[in-house]
């Protein structure tokens, strides 16, 4: 179940809030020409789902969808990472109050694209420095998580597999989850880029 970012044309005759489907198609074409010509297209890596009880939620996804529990880092709240097909589902327990931390994640395999997005988010004021107390984190595996907000305020986690490949100016701005929460061997074996997820990136084969 590879969830891949596409530029699908709206259904014929179905108007959008900004105009006709033709207008939307032309806008998508211009955006694609400007940003993605000859470049790798980012793709959905995981979604984060709020749950009331982490154990009950894990059991449900295992029972109903045959999801596989995979290692996850240790966070301040109970979390379980599941592999469902090729996409990870991250269950996050916040039983006392609704949390603003739920999001989806877009993965980048191009260092240049990730760095360009980082600097653009900074220039345009889209970095989210509040929800997770910081905007940039390094996971135990060495992947990097960047939190931004869209124009409606929704959180998007942008991930890149190797922080050591990024410019020192960006890398030096990150915090390490391992410095904030003690990590067990199970936590340290976690990965956002599992071999089972190979083939998610457009243009690759499983």
CA distance 202 to 28: 17
CATH of the domain at 63: 3.10.180.10
Band (pLDDT 50/70/90 cuts) for residue 123 is very high
43-56 confidence digits (pLDDT tens): 999 999 888 889 98
User: Locate tokens 């955006």: which residue?
Assistant: 31
* Mean pLDDT of the 106-121 span: 93
Domain-located, residue 194: no
Band (pLDDT 50/70/90 cuts) for residue 23 is very low
* Mean pLDDT of the 56-72 span: 91
Domain-located, residue 113: yes
24-45 confidence digits (pLDDT tens): 444 434 444 445 545 688 999 9
Domain-located, residue 73: yes
Domain-located, residue 204: no
* 146, β-bridge pairs: 136, 158
81 has a pLDDT exceeding 70: yes
**Residue 31, SS3 per DSSP:** helix
**Residue 118, SS3 per DSSP:** helix
CB-based contacts of 38, cutoff 8 Å, min separation 6: none
Least confident of 15-29, 44-58, 92-106, 148-162: 15-29
- How many domains does the structure of the chain reveal? 1
Q: For residue 90, give the nearest of 109, 104, 76 by alpha carbon.
A: 104
Domain-located, residue 180: yes
Domain-located, residue 89: yes
In this structure, are residues 141 and 122 in contact, taking their beta carbons and an 8 Å threshold? no
Least confident of 29-33, 83-87, 122-126, 172-176: 29-33
**Residue 161, SS3 per DSSP:** coil
CA distance 138 to 175: 6
Could you list the residue range(s) of the whole structural domain that residue 149 is in?
Answer: 43-189
Domain-located, residue 5: no
What is the number of residues in the chain?
206
Residue 178 half-sphere exposure toward CB, CA atoms < 13 A: 15
């Amino acid at each position: 179940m590879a969830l891949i970012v596409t530029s699908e044309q709206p259904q014929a005759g179905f108007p959008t809030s900004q105009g006709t489907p033709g207008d939307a198609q032309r806008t998508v074409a211009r955006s694609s020409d400007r940003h993605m010509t000859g470049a790798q297209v980012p793709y959905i890596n995981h979604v984060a789902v709020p749950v009331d009880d982490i154990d009950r939620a894990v059991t449900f996804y295992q029972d109903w969808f045959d999801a596989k529990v995979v290692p996850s880092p240790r966070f301040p709240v109970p979390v379980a990472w599941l592999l469902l097909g090729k996409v990870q589902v991250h269950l996050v327990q916040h039983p006392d109050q609704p949390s603003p931390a739920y999001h989806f994640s877009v993965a980048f395999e191009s260092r240049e694209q990730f760095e360009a997005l980082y600097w653009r988010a900074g220039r345009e004021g889209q970095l989210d420095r509040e929800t997770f107390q910081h905007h940039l984190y390094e996971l135990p595996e060495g992947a990097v998580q960047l939190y931004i907000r869209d124009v409606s305020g929704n959180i998007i986690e942008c991930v890149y597999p190797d922080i050591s490949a990024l410019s020192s100016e960006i890398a030096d701005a990150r915090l390490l989850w391992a410095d904030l929460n003690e990590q067990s061997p199970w936590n340290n074996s976690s990965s956002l880029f599992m071999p089972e997820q190979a083939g998610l990136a457009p243009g690759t084969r499983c």
